[in-house]
Amino acid sequence: MIATLRGEVSQVEDSAIVLNVAGVGLRVFIPLQSRARLKIGESVFLFTHLAVREDALTLYGFDTQAERDLFLMLLSVDGIGPRLGLAVLSTLTIDAIQRAVYTEESEILSQVPGVGKKTAQKIVLYLHDRLKPSDVLTGVAAMSDRDGEVLAALTALGYSVIEAQAAIQSLPKGAPDAVEERLRLALQYFQ
């Protein structure tokens, strides 16, 4: 019903922003990364989804149409509501979600707060045929095992999944294949 919004940020809350659209303040729940970068007074354009329930009309906003499309796919998974779908997009990047689904690594998805092992497996199963793997992912699939181990080691050391993924993505193209060496190089990202 409400596909997009353009307005000025009048308030930044813990889990949402208030967007002033033609004099009307609309509360829009957005992913954490988007919320962290927005400032009061900034003009913003969002792709939105209006969730209609008996007791509430809730707007969810996204920077890109791809984010909104993935959010809608997540909502179609049994047991995933708007809040949990937003938590997935707040914790993992679109590429990380696609990679987890494409390589069937549900343990990456289960690191999202509120997503258990069974729900993560449902997401992977349901989205596997619906998500189109990007060209980047086809090359990444071959290295997913060793990088999955590096990701697990970094998260065990206390880094968030997003931080760990950023460190893995920063590895040089000619990085050694040994997990220990890749972990050492990934740790240098944080220094």
Give Cβ neighbours of residue 78 (< 8 Å, ≥ 6 apart).
Answer: 122, 126
Mark whether 32 and 86 lie in a shared domain. no
The residue from 104, 133, 162 where one domain ends is 133
Q: Which residue has the higher pLDDT, 164 or 119?
A: 119
**CATH number reported for the structural domain that contains residue 72 in this entry:** 1.10.150.20
Name the residue range of residue 144's domain. 137-188
Total domains, the chain: 3
Mark whether 127 and 143 lie in a shared domain. no
Q: Looking at the predicted structure, is the pLDDT value of residue 114 above 70?
A: yes
The residue from 105, 133, 161 where one domain ends is 133
Mark whether 72 and 126 lie in a shared domain. yes
Q: Please list the helix, strand and coil fractions of the chain in percent, rounded to the nearest 5, in that order.
A: 50, 20, 30
The residue from 117, 133, 149 where one domain ends is 133
> How buried is 50 (Cβ within 10 angstroms: 0-12 exposed, 13-18 middle, 19+ buried)?
exposed
What are 123-181's pLDDT values in tens digits? Answer: 999 988 887 655 444 444 444 567 778 887 888 888 877 778 778 878 887 888 888 88
Mark whether 8 and 48 lie in a shared domain. yes
